[in-house]
Amino acid sequence: MVNYYQILKVSPKATNAEIKSAYRRLARKIHPDVNTTDTPDASGEFAKIAKAYEVLGNPQQRAAYDRRLLNAQYKNSNDDGSVFSSENAHARRWRQMAYERRYNEIIDRMIADERRETMALQKVIFPTVALFISVFCVGIFKPKFWANSQIIGKVILFSLFLVGLVHLVKRLRTGFERYTYRDENLHDSILKETVVENKKPYTRFTAACFLVVGVGLSLTVGLLVGNLLQSHLTPSMPTIIAESLKPEFVFYPPIVVLFVDIMHSFASKFDY
C-alpha cells in the first residue's frame, strides 16, 4: 500500500499545517516547470505528491486512509516473522493493544479536526448572518443613537464602531482565505509559493458578490418594512427612531457583529 506520509516526508501524526507546508515545499522543488534536469520524472513525482496532499489534506479522506494503512500494517505484522507476529497470547495481545491505541488516535484526531473545521466555519457564518440581520434592522428602525448622544456617548459609539469594523474585516478576510480561491492556474500558484485548495467551494468574486448583494438586499428589505411600519414605530419612539435613514447607520452593523461574535465565542467555550 502506498504510504502518502512517506511521499510528503511527514509523520503520521503531522498536523494539517505541517502537511500543507510539506506539500508546498515539495511542489516548488519538484514542479515540472522549474525542474527540467534534477528530477528525470518530475511530472510523475509531482503527481504523487499532489495525490498524497489530496488525501492527507482532507480530514475525512485522511481518517479513512489512516484506517486502511493501519489495517495493512497490522496484517503485515502478523506475517513478518518477528517475535511480535507469533501466535503467542502475549504477542497477540500486544498487537491488539497497539492497533486499538493507534485507531483511537486516528478517531481522536478526526474528531478534533472536525471540531476545528466547525469552529472555523461558525466564525465566518455568525458574523456574516449578524451583518445581514443588523443591516436589515437598521433599515427598519433607522436608529439615531449617535445624534442623541452626548460627547462621551459619541466617543464610545465611535470606538466600538472602529473595533467592530476591524473585527468584521478580519473575520471576512479569514473566511475568504479559507473558503474561497482565486481563479488562477495551478502551475502559476505553485510557483508563487501558494497552495491551491481544490476543495474550496467558491471563487473570491462569487463570495464578494454574495456579501455586496446580501448587504444591499438586507438594507432594501429593511427600508421597505420600515416604511410600512413607520406610522406605528416613529410616534412610539420618536427619540430613538428617525423618519429617514441617516449616515450614522454605518456605525451600527459592525458593533452588532462584534457583540454577537463575543457572545458566540463565550458560548463556544462551554460547548467544547
100 grid coordinates: 486499538
**Nearest Cα to Cα of residue 134 among 245, 49, 43, 255:** 255
Neighbours of 165 (CB within 10 A): 17
What pLDDT does 131 receive? 96
Average pLDDT, the chain: 81
Kindly state the average pLDDT of the residues 208-228. Answer: 94
What pLDDT does 76 receive? 65
Q: Is 202 helix (H, G, I), strand (E, B) or coil?
A: strand
Q: How confident is the model at residue 169 (pLDDT cuts 50, 70, 90)?
A: very high
DSSP class of residue 13 equals: T
Number of residues that make up the chain: 272
Taking a C-beta distance cutoff of 8 angstroms, is the pair 213, 127 a contact?
Answer: no
DSSP class of residue 37 equals: S
Percent of the chain with pLDDT over 70: 78
Q: What are the Cα distances from residue 95, in Å, to 67, 90, 98, 102, 130?
A: 15, 9, 5, 11, 52
262 grid coordinates: 463575543
Q: How confident is the model at residue 64 (pLDDT cuts 50, 70, 90)?
A: confident
Kindly state the average pLDDT of the residues 142-155. Answer: 91
pLDDT tens figures, 72-111: 776 665 555 554 455 667 666 766 777 677 777 777 777 7
Percent of the chain with pLDDT over 90: 29
Burial class (CB in 10 A: 0-12, 13-18, 19+), 270: exposed
Taking a C-beta distance cutoff of 8 angstroms, is the pair 66, 106 a contact?
Answer: yes
Query: What residue type is 120 in one-letter code?
Result: A
Taking a C-beta distance cutoff of 8 angstroms, is the pair 248, 126 a contact?
Answer: no
14 grid coordinates: 503531522
Taking a C-beta distance cutoff of 8 angstroms, is the pair 92, 146 a contact?
Answer: no
CA 12/CA 115 separation, integer angstroms:
20
CA 142/CA 133 separation, integer angstroms:
13
CA 240/CA 79 separation, integer angstroms:
79
What pLDDT does 83 receive? 46
Looking up cell 436608529, which residue turns up? 143
Within 8 A by CB and 6+ apart from 130, the residues are 256, 257, 260, 261
Comparing 8 with 28, which gets the higher pLDDT? 8
What pLDDT does 211 receive? 96
What pLDDT does 46 receive? 82
pLDDT tens figures, 107-127: 777 777 778 888 888 999 999
Indicate if the pLDDT at residue 163 is higher than 90. yes
What pLDDT does 186 receive? 43
Q: Is 241 helix (H, G, I), strand (E, B) or coil?
A: strand
Q: Is 143 helix (H, G, I), strand (E, B) or coil?
A: strand
DSSP class of residue 58 equals: S
Within 8 A by CB and 6+ apart from 249, the residues are 138, 139, 142, 143
